[in-house]
Chains A and B, each alone.
Chain A
């Protein structure tokens, strides 16, 4: 019998507008497949993929297989943070996807939760936006921080895509 070398991980992903199963859907993981008809996205989904797909909690369940060793690592890290493995998986997945989409952006723990920042510079994205609002230009903002312009562009591109998140992070940190 082949050694089982991977296990199933499931996580709720916040704010994802469509179900993604990568062609490896396992409807049998959930309750027997009851087709609920088109969801908000117009997709016909099995009940497994419609969990929490409501306006109040717009998340979907996404399943994937990972190596046993990676699962153990994830479990240890979740325990350390005192959160569920699925919550941590969801967080990592979301942040890694955003890091791929916006090179130069990373995430760190902050007083109000996770915060987007420029890992090589200790500066939060919302702080770059604050300076840009006053500086008015990318070159003046870059000059303020003593950075190359592409770092400012990275931060501004992220902020443009996720303005509500940046505003919330600023609110938590600056209290305004």
Chain B
């Protein structure tokens, strides 16, 4: 069952790399999730759609995305969780990105991800 959605600023190659590390890894690219319906959605709309489905957004760190997620938490709307790659991770280093997420998921797959924002690599 899908649990994670890779944002548009991540490559499909990152998703493929995750699946090479773990064939059953529960991730899909935003462009492929519900036929790419939300590939043009703005952050608040996307976060709401993901919350409704209980899906965690994986993205590159953007202050605006974290800000919108925080606003949703404060307003009571909430979100289903966000994983953000720090900018120290190269956008084209799919191997590192996939290792970081797959490793995190081994530990964190059972966490309550509601309103949680996790940064990778972890401090």
Contacting pair A146 B63 (CB below 8 A): no
Known interface pairs A144-B13, A145-B8; A120-B63 also in contact (CB < 8 Å): no
B114 to chain A, nearest CB (A): 23
Contacting pair A134 B39 (CB below 8 A): no
Chain B 57-96, CB-CB to A under 8 Å as 1, else 0, gives 0001111100100000000000000000001001110000
A139 to chain B, nearest CB (A): 13
- Which A residues are CB-close (under 8 A) to B53? none
Contacting pair B61 A122 (CB below 8 A): no
**Is B104 interfacial (CB-CB < 8 Å)?**
no
Contacting pair A122 B67 (CB below 8 A): no
Size of the chain A interface, CB-CB below 8 angstroms: 25
Interface residues of B in 1-31 (CB under 8 A from A): 7-9, 11-13, 30-31
- Which B residues are CB-close (under 8 A) to A146? 11-12, 31
B59 to chain A, nearest CB (A): 9
Main SS at interface, chain B = loop
Bound-state Cα–Cα, A120 to B30, Å: 12
Which residue in chain B gives the minimum CB-CB distance to A171? B63
Bound-state Cα–Cα, A111 to B42, Å: 13
Contacting pair A176 B87 (CB below 8 A): yes
Contacting pair B9 A123 (CB below 8 A): yes
Bound-state Cα–Cα, A26 to B12, Å: 56
- Which A residues are CB-close (under 8 A) to B62? 110-111, 124, 173-174
